[in-house]
Amino acid sequence: MVEQESPLKLVWKPGSHGNFSGGVGVYLSETMPGSIVQLAAWPGEEKAIIAAIRKVAGLTLPDGAGGGAPGDAKAAFGFAPGKFLVVDEKERLAEAFIKAVDISLGTVTDLSHGRTAIRIAGPKAEWVLAKFFAIDFSQTAFPVGAGRSTVHHDIFAQIQRTAPTQFDLYVFRSFARSFWTALCHASEEVGYEVR
């Protein structure tokens, strides 16, 4: 398969940036999953889609909330009623879902080449993300494994909390560079490291 080039290439500046008087507030990175697949269940078929996610990706979604352990190369989460995002290091995961999900159950959409995956981690990750999104990022309201879909201005984002102080964001590839630049700017206040 053709090696995909990062849309962040022109704005990628590894190293430490911003105010470090209180230490590193956040770590920013791009993850490069092999597959990003969206599944949408027809009304009443949510459990069948969750079962397909368990069968194909080996992930369990408790009540659709989210699956995958911190550091896993794969994860799945519900981000809207009957809608799920599955991320895996394997390529061509959509093909496996197309075979497992009958058209009577729902739809499968391969987003692998249309999304960029950005990770923000660190003690100030919640604080930085709260600058962008009108979401309660506290762990009580947004537990590990859970996902949300929202927008920052006109940039649609799907977000999963993948660890107590870590979030993975999936944004349209065409907006990734401007979103990354804004995220770096918002992180300057707390000090950030690009890795």
Confidence of residue 153 (pLDDT cuts 50, 70, 90): confident
Asked if the model's pLDDT at residue 72 lies above 80, the reply is no
Ranges for all domains in the chain classified under CATH 3.30.1360.120:
7-32+114-195
pLDDT value of residue 56? 95
Average predicted confidence (pLDDT) for the chain = 91
Asked if the model's pLDDT at residue 130 lies above 80, the reply is yes
Distance separating alpha carbons of residues 192 and 163, to the nearest angstrom: 18
What is the residue type of 90? K
CATH 3.30.470.20, applies to 7-32+114-195: no
Distance separating alpha carbons of residues 149 and 142, to the nearest angstrom: 12
Highest mean pLDDT pick, 67-76, 109-118, 146-155 = 109-118
Confidence of residue 67 (pLDDT cuts 50, 70, 90): low
Query: Any residues with CB less than 8 A from the CB of 147 and at least 6 apart, and which?
Result: 65, 66, 77, 78, 79, 85, 158, 159, 160, 161
Superfamily of domain 34-111: Heterotetrameric sarcosine oxidase (3.30.70.1520)
Q: What are phi and psi of 17, to 5 degrees?
A: -145, 155
Give percent of the chain with pLDDT exceeding 90: 79
**What is the rounded average pLDDT of the residues 15-27?**
93
Largest pairwise CA distance in the chain: 57
Give percent of the chain with pLDDT exceeding 70: 92
pLDDT value of residue 65? 53
**What is the rounded average pLDDT of the residues 32-53?**
95
Q: What are phi and psi of 62, to 5 degrees?
A: -65, 110
This prediction's pTM:
0.91
Ranges for all domains in the chain classified under CATH 3.30.70.1520:
34-111
Q: 194 near 184, Cβ under 8 Å?
A: yes
